[in-house]
Structures are given as C-alpha cells and as structure tokens.
Amino acid sequence: MANHTSGIQPEILTALVTMRMPYGKYKGYILSDIPEYYLVWMYQKGFPQGKLGMMLHTLYEIKLNGLEFLLKPLRKETFR
C-alpha cells in the first residue's frame, strides 16, 4: 500500500521556479512566470499528460488560490 502525504512536496515547488515551458506561446518561460489567464485556458482545454501537466495543474491551483507567495522565497533562493 502506498504511503500518501497531503500537501505539495517541496521538490514540486522548486521545479515550478526552475523548469521552463518546452513549447507553445510561453516556450522558454519559467513555469511560475506563465500568466494565470494562460493556465486557465490550458485548464479549460486540458493539461498535457505526464509531469508537465501535473506541474501546470499545480501552478494553476497555486495562482487560482492566491498562493504565489509560496514560490517567491524559492525563486530568490534558486537565482542567487
């Protein structure tokens, strides 16, 4: 039986401020820099499968709920 934990794993948050969008209108942008309206559009169309889709869906939920402040300290730490 798998051991599931609640909440977002720190590795996912770190990836949101380091991973770049591989294609589309925002190709090359760090995921956390993608505007909310684009994430809403992707939500309506359906996120891609796999890790990228999970990352974009997580970012969508963060932005939708006004939790961007969770990413700011990680971004500062990552780009020192």
Q: What is the pLDDT of residues 32-65, one digit of tens each?
A: 999 999 999 999 999 999 999 999 999 999 999 9
Per-residue pLDDT band at 6 (split at 50, 70, 90) = low
pLDDT of residue 73: 86
Residue 77 pLDDT > 50, yes or no? yes
The pLDDT of residue 2: 46
Strand runs labelled E in the chain: none
Per residue in 39-62, is it b (16+ CB within 10 Å) or e — as a string?
beebeeeebbeeeeeebbebbbeb
Cα(3)–Cα(68) distance, integer angstroms: 28
